[in-house]
Each structure stands twice: as structure tokens, then as C-alpha cells.
Amino acid sequence: MTFRCFGNNDELYAYYHDNIWGKPVYDDKTLFEYLILEGAQAGLSWITILKRQKEYQKAFDNFDFYKISEYDENKISELMNNKGIIRNKRKIISTIKNAKCFIKIINEYGSFSNYLWRFVNNKPIINNYKRIEDIPVYDDLALKISKDLRKRGFSFVGPTIIYSYLQAVGVINDHLQQCEFKY
């Protein structure tokens, strides 16, 4: 029997846990995608977002942040009518705003990956928690990155969202000690 940190055997969630969560990501498009998906999750369960990920990819031009940065009121209206995504206007507008901010960071650092990974000297943090209850909802690193992103104009990037994001893109590996996917 496979041990998963969170014990969820939903096929989609299991795939995410086993193949994505906690594995380092350096590709800017993927980093942007998970930043937006984590923000979309605010107030919802992660499985709700995972089940809509493909719809998000279609609705948001496969997370092409350059295209998204050019979205106008017509596109916002189209997205508000898309039943495949979370139709929250603040989150949709945030995605557009965050795309613009994301591009500014790329222009400053050469890539968003360079910006993000510099916070950990390009080396993932591998925590060794034994119980799910021990995993924090955020830490000092998430707080630091959250503050920096907000200072740069991002929204839906509070410390709890950023901690989840850092876990998703492998900056932080919080697979439990007994998890077979711990590395």
C-alpha cells in the first residue's frame, strides 16, 4: 500500500501528491500556473482546484503570462461566465495583475525562477515532519516572500498561500518522514 502524506486516495490528488507536490520547478510558466492556482484556492479545498486545472489552462491561455497581462474587460467578462473555473472577479483580476507583476520580475531577474530560488540559495528546504499536524500553515520564508511579492504589486499572495505554493513547486518539501515520496 502506498503511503501518502495526507492519506487522500482520490486518483487526481494521489497523482498530484506522487508526481508534482514537493518536486522542484524551475520553469516560469509552471511557476506562474501554480502561483495562480494557489491564489484561486483561497477559501476552497485544493482538490476543487485540481479538478478544474485543465479548465484553468484552457481559460487562461495555458498560463501564458504575456497574453494574460493583456486581458481586457471583454476577457474578464468571458472568464466570469466560464463555469469551468472559480468565477470570482477579484481572483480573475488578480491573475491579470499578477501576470504583469510576474513579467516585471522576469525583466529584473532574468526569470521568475531566478527570483524565487534565490530566497533559498537555489537549494530546496527538506523538512522532516512526522505528523501532518506538525506542518505549519506558513513560516518565515513564506512571510518574507509574501511581503516582497505584495510590495511588488501581487495580490492573493498571503503567507499561507505562498507556503502552499512553495510546497507545490518544491522550494519546500514537506512530505512526511514515512512518505515513500520523500527524497
Active site residues: 16, 38, 46
- Long-range contacts: 139-143, Cβ < 8 Å, 24+? 139/163, 139/172, 141/166, 141/171, 141/172, 142/166
Cα 56 to its chain centre, rounded Å, is 13
Distance CA(6)–CA(13), nearest Å, equals 10
**Contact of 34 with 98, CB cutoff 8 Å:** no
Residue that the C-alpha cell 518539501 belongs to: 173
